[in-house]
Structure 1
Amino acid sequence: LFAGRHAECVFISGQNKPSTKAQVGKVRASAVAAGRNPEDIKVFMGLNVIVAETEELAWKKHAEYRSHASAEAGVAHFSASTAIDFSQYEIDEPIQYVKSNAIQSATRNLQNNDWTRRKLLDQHALGGRYITVVGSPQQVADDLESWIAETGLDGFNLTRIVTPESYVDFIDLVIPELQRRGSYKTAYDNGTLREKLFQREAQLPEQHTGAAYRR
């Protein structure tokens, strides 16, 4: 409800397309409930990308990254976000969801009580909890476009596995492919960030609660 009333951008952690679509739908519905347009909130998902000139090279890079990563460290970091001590559970023991003041997007996936330490370790194989897209530039572009089309997402919060290589690879290999498809800009528009994101004036729209405090 808070996001529906106040937010202009929301960042989520989707694990599959059906659940991500449901999350996006809830965000849009919360905006409508607050008297706003459903598109008044942009929704972005965290995403890892491992890309190389060919699929084979991309998976070799994935294997190299995984050999250096610590899944246990990733789960420990996730523990800080959820306020749950996962070490108290056996490897295949269901993790019990407990409502708390932790990061709600982090704990949402635990609410069905069907997660185990083994599942978390597999999810955090590269050290983070975001899904990972692996492949050639064409395959990665296909995946990104399908996520947008099938979930209603507005875009992605590109995370890094290795700095700066993760970003350099994406810029050098994926961006040109997306540009060829017309799915990514080739130049920056003028104006503020709000004008660029929403293609409208820089001020908050009248239906946003913050507009009532405009001088």
Structure 2
Amino acid sequence: MTKEIILHAFEMNSAMHNSHGLWKHPDSKRHRGYKDLQYWVDLARLLEKGKFDAVFFADVLGIYDVYRNSKTPSIRDGLQVPVNDPALLVSAMAQATDHLAFAITVSTTYEPPFGNARRFSTLDHLTNGRVAWNIVTSYLPNAARNFGLEKMIKHDERYDIADEYLDVSYQLWEGSWENDAFLEDRKEGTLINPEKVHEIKHHGNYFNVEGPHLSEPSPQRTPVLYQAGTSERGRAFAAKHAECIFVGGPTPERIRYYIEDIKERAEKHGRDASKIKFLCFLNVIVGETTEEAERKYEEYASHWSPDAAKAQYGASGYDISEYEVLDRSLPFEYTKKTEGGHYKAATLTKDAPKKLTVGEVLDRFETLDRSTIIVGNPEEVADAIQFQFEESGVDGFNLNHFVTPGDLEAFVELVVPVLQKRGIYKKSYREGTLREKLFSTGTFLPADHPGSKYRKESVKK
């Protein structure tokens, strides 16, 4: 059977996401609509019409303020601020759809695991098993200060915390309740069998949780686990825990390198690496003709905000304004270890196709980077997507969109039918939970996943 593309819409419950400055475009509706529940319900229906597997909600817990040591550039252009809680959108969007799933970003650094486990169990119940957790460790200094810390916890220690966080979560989801705990025995007067509900009594380096889990087992028990991170520590974490992994790179070859590296690491954990799904980011501007698509690109570029783009790059831990005073012909390189997002730093250094000068790096931020965007008519766009799909080894894409909802509407109407005609994109959904749709191997974590070891005998399938 031909391998089919997995497709997610990359979203955020915010005024703007990654479309720097494009709130000024006359067709942009998100910077006002994001506060309106009907906006999200309509978006969910559009994505299900286009047979998207999920909407992937990014999230942050602070403001980007590394650039120029200031929050002003981010706030001025609405760079992921204001931003609301994405989890609160899911119930309404799920009610309006039958198959669309929801991947929600939650940080392991600032939110305790006990409450987070209940949140995901609740959503998994309410969506009939259409929920995933995008696991992040958070990279914004302002987020650390918002949660009472003077500075960020170091990069690698954040992953140490995340490892224990996942261990606690697995115990709550997989081991605390047995499948047959809910009796509803009217004769004996027992709703829940206490002998089938277990405390976890976790005592670790970062967390102490008695339990039991407050929610009964949801359809998937553990939500589908997503993770993104191409640092050394990030890849190690992904190989152990993640079922779907976002990888990035400037070329299909670099993406394939990360995929093979993580697969090799996963196998050392005893996991079947062929069952892990890999996705990368996709930027598309499509028109009915090439000329229309080119006009769109020029329009979008005219609204671009260099300051917002530079502010977002501050997630790497580096202030790009420090380089604006340097000789533009100098090589661009970092001289200190960052505790920010390593993948951000890598995009302009080790993952760049060639060694860049300061001038070349600064120019990247000045306009909408054409080299990272597929621009064309439906056939041209489909050609480029298919090339990336086949050459990089990814299983699918996280689709960015510049003007919302117009770009998603155009993709659904113009590109999806071409991909379907080529046999590389589904024409109908599979039945079942998100995990069943993605892997066709059952609704629970597979037996080779580290989280499955906490299951009681009556739970194992």
TM-score of the pair, normalised by structure 2: 0.44
Aligned counterpart, 2:317: 83
Match of 1:171 in 2: 412
The letter for the 1-side match of 2:449 is: H
C-alpha spacing 1:55/1:138, structure 2 compared with 1 (3 Å): same
Residue matched to 2:283: 48
Give 1:138's aligned residue: 379
Provide the residue aligned with 1:35 in structure 2.
270
Supply the distance in 2 between the matched residues of 1:116 and 1:206 (Cα, whole angstroms). Answer: 49
- Alignment match of 1:103 (pick from 337, 341, 357): 341
Q: CA RMSD in A?
A: 2.2
Alpha carbons 2:281, 2:397 under 8 Å: kept: yes
Q: State whether structure 2 residue 260 is matched by structure 1 residue 19.
A: no
With CA pairs under 8 Å and 6+ residues apart, which has the higher RCO, 1 or 2?
1
SS at match of 2:451: helix
Aligned residue number for residue 213 of structure 1: 454
**Structure 1 Cα separation of the partners of residues 349 and 367 of structure 2:** 23
Matched-pair contact (CA < 8 Å) for 1:43–1:154: yes
> Bigger CA drift: 148-157 or 114-123?
114-123
Q: Residue 136 of structure 1: CA displacement? A: 0.9
Structure 2 unpaired stretches of 5+: 1-235, 457-461
Distance 2:401 2:358 in 1: 23
Residues 52-97 of structure 1, C-alpha deviations (whole Å, 9 max, x = no match): 0111211111111001112332122111x20101111134441315
Give the structure with the higher percent helix.
1
Q: 1:130 to 1:24 in 2, by over 3 A?
A: farther
Higher gyration radius (CA): 2
**Which deviates more, 125-134 or 198-207?**
125-134
Asked if structure 2 preserves the Cα contact closer than 8 Å seen for 1:74 and 1:129, the reply is no
Q: Does the aligned pair in 2 maintain the 1:12–1:105 contact within 8 Å? A: no
SS of 2:294's equivalent in the other structure is: helix
Point out the more displaced range, 100-109 or 81-90. 100-109
CA displacement at 1:110 relative to structure 2: 4.1
Residue 159 of structure 1 corresponds to which residue in structure 2?
400
What TM-score, normalized to structure 1? Answer: 0.90
For 1:162, what is the secondary structure of its paired residue?
coil
Percentage identity across paired residues of the two chains: 37
* Shift in Å, 1:100: 2.6
Query: SS state of the match for residue 447, structure 2?
Result: coil
CA offsets 1:31-57 (integer angstroms, 9 cap, x no match) = 112211222321111111000011121
CA distance in 1, matches of 2:401, 2:361: 19
8 Å Cα contact 2:333-2:349 kept in structure 1? no
CA distance in 1 between counterparts of 2:419 and 2:366 reads: 28
2:12 is matched with: none
Deviation at 1:116, TM superposition (A): 4.3
Q: 1:70 aligns with which of 282, 305, 311?
A: 305
Whether the aligned pair in 2 keeps the contact of 1:70 and 1:126 (CA below 8 Å) is: yes
Q: Take 1:118 and 1:103, find their aligned partners in 2: how far apart are those partners?
A: 22
CA–CA distance in 2 between the matches of 1:207 and 1:129? Answer: 42
Q: What SS does the aligned partner of 2:246 have? A: strand
How far the C-alpha of 1:131 sits from its partner, in A, is 2.1
The residue identity in structure 2 corresponding to 1:212 is K
Cα distance, 1:111 vs structure 2: 4.3
In structure 2, the CA distance between the partners of 1:195 and 1:78, relative to structure 1 (3 Å rule), is same
1:10 equivalent in alignment to 2:245:
yes
